[in-house]
Structure 1
Amino acid sequence: MEEKQVYEQIGVAMTSRSYVEYEKMFMLQTDELIGKRVLDVSGGASSFTAEARQLGIEAEAVDPLYEKSPDAIAEYGRLEIERSTAKLSKLTDVYDWTFYGSVEQHRAGRIQALQRFVEDFSSAEGSARYHKAALPSLPFGAESFELVMCSHFLFLYEEQFDYAFHTGAVRELLRVCKPGGEVRIYPLMNFRTEEYSRLHDLILEFELAGFTVQKREASLPFLPNSQQYLSIKKEPSA
């Protein structure tokens, strides 16, 4: 049997994704988010927060990366983009290029998102919306955000983080989510492009805790088995 081709990743990668990618990963409706407080957890050097702010969304991001200087993040980001591009170029048959078009266009989008991020991170307002911290502990008060998102961290790094870490991280995402709000996590798979092995257990655990948990359809065709995100809704206050 031919060995499955997988994206090899050591350690947690830093990524640079755009607002439109978030729209497709999490099925965002921009007009419904205007004026609302939204958190991007483990956002890396993505331009989501910068672009969302320009659209009138009260977006913030949190990542341990933000302890670095803008120049250091820019340099690290460029290196990460080159590494990931080299890996992707060897796996072109594995992915669906409908959205990105080609490896080179994928690279160009990452560079553009990184540049937008660095510009915003360097701005006078940057320190107020980019927070240095890592799951499972976030530096926000309870019930602070209408929408909390986490992409390409939970589930994806299944081999590095155990089930206890995942449940603790999800509890923390829910803690900072307002009643009536929602936590969304994407994708639901690990680097072997297989669904997170404890996903059923995690869904059941949070359903029993009183949350509404659903797998919902995403619309970013690229990674195999990445057609869904996890929606965890927090009931409104009585």
Structure 2
Amino acid sequence: MSMEQKRVYEQVGVAMTSRSYAEYEKMFILQTENLIGKRVLDVAGGASSFTVEARQLGIFSEAVDPLYEKSAEEIAEHGLQEIELVAAKMEKLVDVYDWTYYGSVDNHKAGRVKSLKQFVNDFSSKDAASRYHAACLPSLPFAEESFDLVLISHFLFLYEDQFDYSFHRAAVKELLRVCKPGGEVRIYPLLNFRQAEYSKLSELINELTNEGYLVQKREASLPFLPNSHQYLCIIKNPSA
């Protein structure tokens, strides 16, 4: 039992991460050409560069995270500390992960640093408040039916031990509230930190299906975490 515990990534509290647009493409199978001109929301986005990179491509992306109450300097400092901490944890678990995409711990770390710098530069700009919103689930500061696509990575499901089913259900309902009819909510991965599928996933899928949403497990293409080959797609008013 103790040996198994050592092979699992240990996380206390909610981590702040710095992922790139390319990683989001693989996690959520994004088709950039289909998103140009669309309004996209990155929930619990942390210090990811997704929003700034997406906007450079012509996608109207915004991000929401309680982290955005901090200053750019505070986020930069916290982000670099988090990157070092993650790299140290990964060094002990190198054989657990699939390095097809990242190549090595050093490459993974370099990518995080690059994304963090891109984020901080954008977050420091005068108009940053128009696209970075300080708030947390299950209450988002947006009108109903605001976004064509709502994304959330490495928060819901992953922290199953810290957030109960009522929180997960309320959070997903809030993501759907701000999603436009015909739009989609995509959640990745479907795992908790024990690398097992979220224990209440079937219950959640059944509940959403009974309420008229089209819910599908779809294949992702970022083979890094064990068993992380799927994301959840929830289509709002699928006939819209």
TM-score range, shorter chain: over 0.9
In the alignment, what sits opposite 2:152?
150
Deviation at 1:203, TM superposition (A): 0.2
Separation (CA, whole Å) in 1 of partners of 2:144 and 2:27: 25
The residue that corresponds to 1:170 in the other structure is 172
Matching residue of 1:62: 64
User: How far off its partner does 1:124 sit?
Assistant: 1.6
Distance in 2, matches of 1:138 and 1:127, equals: 15
Quick one: which of 114, 118, 125 aligns to 2:120? 118
Distance 1:108 1:90 in 2: 18
Amino acid of the structure 1 residue aligned with 2:187 = I
Counterpart code for 1:121: F
Please give the TM-score of this superposition, normalised by the length of structure 1: 0.98
CA distance in 2, matches of 1:172, 1:42: 13
Name the TM-score, length of structure 2 as normaliser: 0.98
Query: Any gaps of 5 or more consecutive residues in structure 2?
Result: none
Alpha-carbon separation, structure 2, partners of 1:133 and 1:140:
10
Q: Does 1:127 align with 2:129?
A: yes
1:37 aligns with 2:39: yes
Q: What is aligned with 2:195?
A: 193
Q: Secondary structure at the match of 1:134?
A: coil
CA contact (8 A) 2:213 2:238 kept: no
Q: Match for 2:18 among 3, 8, 16? A: 16
Equivalent residue letter for 2:4: E
Aligned mates of 1:237, 1:19 — CA distance in 2? 29
Give the distance between the partners of 2:144 and 2:167, measured in 1 at CA: 19
1:3 is paired with a residue of what secondary structure?
helix
Secondary structure of the equivalent of 1:93?
A: helix
Size of the alignment, in residue pairs?
238
Equivalent of 1:52 in 26, 51, 54? 54
In 2, the alpha carbon distance for the partners of 1:218 and 1:137 equals 27
Correspondence for 2:186? 184
